[in-house]
Chains A and B, each alone.
Chain A
């Protein structure tokens, strides 16, 4: 009698286990398929994002082309004026994406935002003397660090290091 009950018990659990396994496999397969879809969508999304950014830049390219087309009649002054307008336009486009130029001169060197490409004698120590290539922030993240030349005070080298 007891054996019979155990057997029945086992049989019913067997069915349950099979159902669970089936469900587990389906959940795992669903996840795998979801992942595949997410990957595909990510590629598409990236493509659309790129398109959007590049479309915004095309008018700048157009204007530069216009600047070069007028080379025969343009005076240096008018050309310069035109190029300046295009330059302002580039900053408008950058601003549209939340990008702004860093202010570096006479600020203290900060490796989070700046890349030192050389040092030169100057005071006070650690101040940015020159900007070789500007840096850009996109909202709060560093899009590109500024390349800068940093002041060092000669013969004070020993004191600068410490852990």
Chain B
């Protein structure tokens, strides 16, 4: 089955997404962009350029570079008189009062221009996905009338697409947040793009989505905010240096780029440096522009623009016969909604509700369109719903720490196996304590169950290999088994309900793990280090006893002293530094004695994790066990 895509055909930028498994993903274009400028250019040699490349040559061919075609699509000649004034290309009256774009005497319908944008998006997406795309869901503003919707659909048809459905942009945004599957609620979608502002009130939930009202400002967007900063910079420079930067195209270009960058930076930082060395020159030499812009300063200069967002929001609420308090959710769409001033305004106008913005506001509409495409094609409803483990699962290992086998948020069913060993010489049984939680210490986590594996053949510590397997099935039933590889003896336990914890309980456990993270980490490190010292001391001791009289006398005495020191240190609470120096001394001794690496680290009580990766275990099996 071929992939179905969702397309946000925007006034300034467009985006395309598809369903990857159970969630939407944006498809990058051939130039590597996640959005594509909705710009089409016709060159003198009959070539057609779309997107970023078309934009790059716009100043050379203003009359044959078409942008904002969306402002004209599906409209009548007499409806667009004002819009005609705002674009540099020629708009003419076609048959039946249709709007036509005149490019070198050739008349083009706006839907043909949009079709070129769609074609580019779909072609790039086909290349990316490695299969032909023939079906799409396309979004339009909620206020589009039937003619505009039909024309958008026609654009899709011209581009060779089967348009499965035309859906509203705000509806797509709500779909991207999965609000259609939740209980009924009232949602405000606040969409401030590059050049247009739309606000919509929706009733969403239980599979239905209805637009209650819509309002906006067709000429308000991020570009206006950039221009404010450009003017502020240029005015300041003129005042200080007496030079008008706006009349120099290359200086103006740098001003625009720097202004947009500053605007974006001020969304996360409270101040930014605008640094434009060698911006211009006069008889006295080169001039540099270097100013600091604070967020407060920026917000003061764009206050008028921010205020212009207020009236449409109030209008939309009025039309929906709602008060601000009746809004359940707010969704932010469009890059300009990243500005803190806009977010604060939205929050205020929506009765204090914090807006949703976890989905990238530039991509949320295309993502939602992809979700809709998935629903239509049945991809989404048929999707296999698999649970995740809400908390990590593992066993207690030496020193009372938790060793995780299955990390939290692992999709189930899942199965993990790890090899452990014994802690003491001649240990014939291991206790397997099954733990759940995020804390480092076993005692701080929930104990789900425990069992004992007996009948392990007597062997030096670290030699036996105990395979511990965790297996959770799709229903969250956990089966833990431990098997002695030597004897084949096996023991297991089945625990149900490991995933059916109250959300509040899960939250509490995760929160606790976060608050104790630093302490837990230190404790864990100390224990790991103690285990290491213990294990090294054991190896030195073993090496000495194996060598017997062949060990050089002075080495033997030194080694014995070292082991005694280590043992004494482990009985007391010594510092990490002391443990580290013991570990490194012992390590050197191990090497000089040529002691072989044992299977596992050693300590007292519980099962022991085999030293390092399972590969080590196999290694030892060949060299030592036979």
Residues of B within 8 A of A93 (CB): none
CA A35 to CA B41, docked complex, whole Å: 40
Is B588 at the interface (CB under 8 A from chain A)? no
Residue from the list A32, A145, A161 in contact with B44, Cβ < 8 A: A161
Q: Is the CB of A28 within 8 A of B386?
A: yes
Is A119 at the interface (CB under 8 A from chain B)? yes
The smallest C-beta distance from B509 to any residue of chain A, in angstroms, reads 20
Q: Is the CB of B104 within 8 A of A22?
A: no
Q: Is the CB of B249 within 8 A of A114?
A: no
Residues facing B in A91-149 (CB within 8 A) are 109, 111-112, 114-119, 132-133, 142, 145, 147, 149
Map CB proximity to B onto A146-158 as digits: 1 under 8 Å, 0 otherwise: 0101101000011
Using CB atoms, name the residue of chain A closest to B251. Answer: A132
Contact A33/B414 with A111-B54, A145-B56, A161-B64 known, Cβ cut-off 8 Å: yes
Contact A118/B61 with A32-B386, A161-B42, A163-B46 known, Cβ cut-off 8 Å: no
Residues of A within 8 A of B474 (CB): 22, 25, 29
Residues of B within 8 A of A159 (CB): 44
Using CB atoms, name the residue of chain B closest to A113. Answer: B56
Residues facing A in B280-333 (CB within 8 A) are none
Is B412 at the interface (CB under 8 A from chain A)? yes
Q: Is the CB of B56 within 8 A of A114?
A: yes
Contact A160/B44 with A32-B386, A109-B57 known, Cβ cut-off 8 Å: yes
CA A122 to CA B249, docked complex, whole Å: 17
Q: Which of A29, A30, A152 has the largest number of chain B CB atoms within 10 A?
A: A29
Map CB proximity to A onto B100-125 as digits: 1 under 8 Å, 0 otherwise: 00011010000000000000000000
Using CB atoms, name the residue of chain A closest to B386. Answer: A29
Is B59 at the interface (CB under 8 A from chain A)? yes
CA A111 to CA B42, docked complex, whole Å: 12
CA A142 to CA B31, docked complex, whole Å: 9
Q: Is the CB of A26 within 8 A of B413?
A: yes
Residue from the list A29, A109, A116, A119 in contact with B411, Cβ < 8 A: A29
Residues of A within 8 A of B412 (CB): 29
Is B443 at the interface (CB under 8 A from chain A)? no
Q: Is the CB of A112 within 8 A of B106?
A: no
Is B60 at the interface (CB under 8 A from chain A)? yes
The smallest C-beta distance from B120 to any residue of chain A, in angstroms, reads 14
Size category of the binding interface on chain A: 35 or more
Using CB atoms, name the residue of chain A closest to B57. Answer: A111
Is B496 at the interface (CB under 8 A from chain A)? no
Is A88 at the interface (CB under 8 A from chain B)? no
Q: Is the CB of A132 within 8 A of B56?
A: no
Q: Is the CB of B411 within 8 A of A22?
A: no
Residue from the list B21, B54, B249, B411 in contact with A117, Cβ < 8 A: B249
Is B253 at the interface (CB under 8 A from chain A)? yes
Is B345 at the interface (CB under 8 A from chain A)? no
Contact A163/B42 with A26-B413, A29-B414, A33-B414 known, Cβ cut-off 8 Å: yes
Is B410 at the interface (CB under 8 A from chain A)? yes
Q: Which of B45, B61, B63 has the largest number of chain A CB atoms within 10 A?
A: B61
Is B53 at the interface (CB under 8 A from chain A)? yes
Map CB proximity to A onto B409-421 as digits: 1 under 8 Å, 0 otherwise: 1111111000000
Q: Is the CB of A163 within 8 A of B103?
A: yes
Residues of B within 8 A of A115 (CB): 56-57
CA A16 to CA B41, docked complex, whole Å: 60
Contact A119/B60 with A111-B49, A132-B250 known, Cβ cut-off 8 Å: yes
CA A25 to CA B61, docked complex, whole Å: 57
Is A36 at the interface (CB under 8 A from chain B)? yes
Q: Is the CB of A116 within 8 A of B56?
A: yes
CA A29 to CA B385, docked complex, whole Å: 10
Is B384 at the interface (CB under 8 A from chain A)? yes
Residues of A within 8 A of B59 (CB): 116-119
Is A162 at the interface (CB under 8 A from chain B)? yes
Residues of A within 8 A of B46 (CB): 162-163
Using CB atoms, name the residue of chain B closest to A112. Answer: B53
Q: Is the CB of B56 within 8 A of A118?
A: no
Contact A118/B249 with A32-B411, A152-B60 known, Cβ cut-off 8 Å: yes
Q: Is the CB of B104 within 8 A of A25?
A: no
Map CB proximity to B onto A5-44 as digits: 1 under 8 Å, 0 otherwise: 0000000000000000010111011111101100000000
CA A3 to CA B598, docked complex, whole Å: 62
CA A91 to CA B474, docked complex, whole Å: 56
CA A142 to CA B61, docked complex, whole Å: 22
Map CB proximity to A onto B49-76 as digits: 1 under 8 Å, 0 otherwise: 1000110111111011000000000000
The smallest C-beta distance from B323 to any residue of chain A, in angstroms, reads 42
Q: Is the CB of A163 within 8 A of B56?
A: no
Residues of A within 8 A of B413 (CB): 22, 25-26, 29
Using CB atoms, name the residue of chain B closest to A25. Answer: B474
CA A150 to CA B57, docked complex, whole Å: 10
The smallest C-beta distance from B48 to any residue of chain A, in angstroms, reads 8
The smallest C-beta distance from B260 to any residue of chain A, in angstroms, reads 15
Residues of A within 8 A of B386 (CB): 25, 28-29, 32
Residue from the list A30, A116, A162 in contact with B60, Cβ < 8 A: A116
CA A111 to CA B61, docked complex, whole Å: 12
Q: Is the CB of B61 within 8 A of A160?
A: yes
Q: Is the CB of A147 within 8 A of B253?
A: yes
Residue from the list B41, B60, B104, B254 in contact with A150, Cβ < 8 A: B60
The smallest C-beta distance from A128 to any residue of chain B, in angstroms, reads 11
Residues of B within 8 A of A162 (CB): 42, 44-46, 104, 106
CA A13 to CA B256, docked complex, whole Å: 69
The smallest C-beta distance from B518 to any residue of chain A, in angstroms, reads 22
CA A31 to CA B411, docked complex, whole Å: 9
The smallest C-beta distance from B12 to any residue of chain A, in angstroms, reads 17
Contact A163/B106 with A25-B384, A116-B60 known, Cβ cut-off 8 Å: yes
Q: Is the CB of A109 within 8 A of B103?
A: no
CA A142 to CA B52, docked complex, whole Å: 12
CA A119 to CA B249, docked complex, whole Å: 9
Using CB atoms, name the residue of chain A closest to B473. Answer: A22
Given contacts A32-B21, A163-B42, A163-B46, 5 further A-B contacts (CB under 8 A): A25-B384, A32-B386, A111-B53, A117-B249, A161-B44
Query: Interface of A with B (CB < 8 Å)?
Result: 22, 24-26, 28-33, 35-36, 109, 111-112, 114-119, 132-133, 142, 145, 147, 149-150, 152, 157-163
- Across the A-B interface, give the 7 residue pairs with the lowest CB-CB distance, nearest first: A161-B104, A32-B411, A118-B249, A115-B56, A132-B250, A111-B57, A111-B56
Query: Interface of B with A (CB < 8 Å)?
Result: 21, 31, 41-42, 44-46, 48-49, 53-54, 56-61, 63-64, 103-104, 106, 249-250, 253-254, 384, 386, 409-415, 473-474
Give 5 CB contacts A-B under 8 Å. Answer: A28-B411, A33-B410, A117-B249, A161-B64, A162-B42
